[in-house]
A and B are shown apart, each in its own frame.
Chain A
Amino acid sequence: MILIIGYGNPLRGDDAIGQRIAERISRHSTRYEVRVLTAYQLTPELVEPISHAQLVVFIDARVDQVVGEILLETVEPLHGAGAFTHNVSPAALLGAARILYGVTPDGLLISIAGTSFDYSGELSPELSLMLPMMTKQVQDIIDTHARATIEKETHHA
């Protein structure tokens, strides 16, 4: 199962981009078994659905210069100490999945540069305009990595 977690505060302008893209993806059919979750922020409870996934894709906003730029990072499980209350990092969640459930799904963080994080229920005009294109890009990235993950698991099996 591919788990997509889009997160951010929908009342803080472009911070909502992760949720918005995840919602759009959830409306598309894919060739893989996909579960889409949206959240204001990452919380420890997410570790349970993460434990059922082969690949976890976190989609978040970031503050950066080139609006709409998409960055891709591999997430490695965080081991040892770390803040783990009701605001956690993708790496801490993967680390917790290993400790609590003995599984380590692949992790991917897709971050999108926003321009306005002020109080607003809307994305900035720039990101709004780019939303369909960015959704397609994110979907392509997920498809590529999902294929690789599934193939890797099939190979190991």
Chain B
Amino acid sequence: MAQQIVIDPVTRIEGHAKITIQLNDAGAVEDAHFHVTQLRGFEKFCEGRPFHEMPSLMARICGICPVSHLVASAKACDALLAVRIPPVAVDLRRILNLAQIAQSHALSFFYLSSPDLLLGMDADPASRNLFGVAQMQPQLARDGVRLRQIGQQIIELLGGKRIHPAWVVPGGVSEPLSADKRDQILAMLPQGVEIAQRTLKWFKSILPNYADEIEAFGSVRTLFMGLTNGPDQLEMYDGFLRIIDADGQLVADQLEPDSYEQFITEMVEPWSFLKSPFYKPFGYPAGIFRVGPLARLNIVKSCGTPLADEALVDFRALDTQSSFHYHYARLIEILYCWEKIDELLHTPDILSDHVRAYAQPNSSEGVGVSEAPRGTLMHHYQIDANGLITRANLIIATGHNNYAMDRGVLEVAKRYVNGAHLSEGMLNRVEAVIRAFDPCLSCSTHAIGQMPLQIQLINTDGQVVHEVKR
């Protein structure tokens, strides 16, 4: 008798989702899906608002990465003003974005995934959390806390507050950087570098324990997409889009982010509120791509900072197709972020007062694209003659990864789930493939650690034949 397993909600991710696994009569996995069950509606309810409100409105999409939305939104508004913002404002926005990426990566790695990595996929779920990590390896937990803190403090120093800072505005930033704040930020960076390097060393030491998961998480092959720049280095703020295939061959390069609609479109699947973008010329699903840390490292020649580039050498020796290596890439990017912030803070004019360009709207349409922690983030606005929003299209980083996550769930379920007997560990591996992507389903108000996990085995008559709860 065909059966279905439901994991609802998926835990230790940002937001609400569930996983369903369909079993055939023999109890083997036949199909599986990742369902995003929440609807936000930001694209609709911002219609009619003045465009200059957009950065602050869009930052409210998320309590984890408001800065990413702030930056992409402000870039779209720059395009509406048709201004070239002062170079120092670009550098200051870059620093804010890098701090955001580092602290978000720290949340993902240390708070959400390190319990699986340190305690094991089959560990007791009651202790498989950061508390359990703290008890087993306090230094790892302290490092996670400190890395988050450094990122948040940089955001607070620049933006005035840790969550939803309003410092990034259309045309630049609202205030220049003071020497005192610059020095405070610089003083924190060496510790950030030290922690990132220590964690990378530890992570590399445990990788052999996860050979099976690395292989299982690598069975979905897709394109990769991200921003890159002139010197072919890691780029988080500007530049062109590049797409490569699963073998590392160039598919498309120097793609203008403003023209994304010419080469990217979205597919709606009936099982999810999250759409699946794909590369138009390849069609669906062949044109599916992954974004985020793994994609970013796969598409560039180098990071462009010394220590991150050193770390990249070992990373390149792996099968970097596997989504398990999102964790690895995340750690390298944390290292990169601290190094890059240090570099930017040492640019000669970083304390310049010239940080904002003023203008009225000069264009009826604007696109802003930047890299968020989870990947390429796109904001696209159209306005009327009064500067009121008539259309907003947002393609969120997690959305780009939707199809890859969905197929990842299927492949991992096929490998680990045995319909005859459910174990918590096998279902945790199905969740873990989702966690590797660090999806942000935009729900800052949810107490994710308190959500129950319920897995039901339901027969075709709708009867629950087996249930696991935690």
Task: Decide whether A and B are members of one complex.
Answer: yes
Residues of chain A in range 29-86 having any CB-CB distance to chain B below 8 Å: 40, 44-45, 47-48, 80-86
Q: Are A84 and B131 in contact (CB under 8 A)?
A: yes
- Given contacts A40-B63, A83-B449, A85-B129, whether A96 and B134 have CB atoms under 8 Å apart is yes
A5 to chain B, nearest CB (A): 14
- Given contacts A83-B450, A100-B142, whether A48 and B131 have CB atoms under 8 Å apart is no
Q: Are B112 and A85 in contact (CB under 8 A)?
A: yes
Q: Does B344 contact A (CB under 8 A)?
A: no
Partner of B148, one of A44, A80, A82: A44
Q: Are A84 and B148 in contact (CB under 8 A)?
A: no
Q: Are A44 and B129 in contact (CB under 8 A)?
A: no
Q: Does B141 contact A (CB under 8 A)?
A: yes
Q: Which residues of A contact B130 (CB under 8 A)?
A: 44, 84-85
Whole-angstrom CA separation of A137 from B12 in the bound complex? 39
Whole-angstrom CA separation of A45 from B143 in the bound complex? 10
Whole-angstrom CA separation of A84 from B446 in the bound complex? 13
Q: Does B273 contact A (CB under 8 A)?
A: no
> Which of A48, A83, A85 has the most C-beta atoms of chain B within 10 angstroms of its own C-beta?
A85
Known: A83-B131, A83-B447. 19 other contacts (CB 8 A): A48-B145, A80-B127, A81-B127, A81-B131, A83-B450, A84-B111, A84-B130, A84-B131, A85-B111, A85-B129, A85-B130, A86-B107, A87-B446, A87-B448, A87-B449, A92-B131, A99-B135, A99-B141, A100-B142
Task: Name the residue on A nearest B63 (C-beta).
Answer: A40
Q: Interface residues of B: mostly helix, strand, loop or mixed? A: helix
A6 to chain B, nearest CB (A): 14
Residues of B within 8 A of A (CB): 12, 63-64, 107, 111-112, 126-127, 129-132, 134-135, 138, 141-142, 144-146, 148-149, 152, 163, 445-450
Q: Are B132 and A81 in contact (CB under 8 A)?
A: yes
Q: Which residues of B contact A87 (CB under 8 A)?
A: 446-450
Whole-angstrom CA separation of A99 from B445 in the bound complex? 27
Residues of A within 8 A of B (CB): 9, 40, 44-45, 47-48, 80-88, 92, 95-96, 99-101
Q: Which residues of B contact A92 (CB under 8 A)?
A: 131
- Given contacts A40-B163, A100-B134, whether A45 and B148 have CB atoms under 8 Å apart is yes
Whole-angstrom CA separation of A118 from B450 in the bound complex? 22
Whole-angstrom CA separation of A80 from B217 in the bound complex? 32
Whole-angstrom CA separation of A49 from B381 in the bound complex? 42
Q: Are B141 and A85 in contact (CB under 8 A)?
A: no
Cβ contacts A to B, 22 pairs, < 8 Å: A9-B445, A44-B111, A44-B144, A44-B145, A44-B148, A45-B152, A47-B145, A48-B149, A81-B126, A83-B131, A84-B449, A86-B111, A87-B446, A87-B447, A87-B448, A87-B449, A95-B131, A96-B131, A99-B135, A99-B138, A100-B141, A100-B145
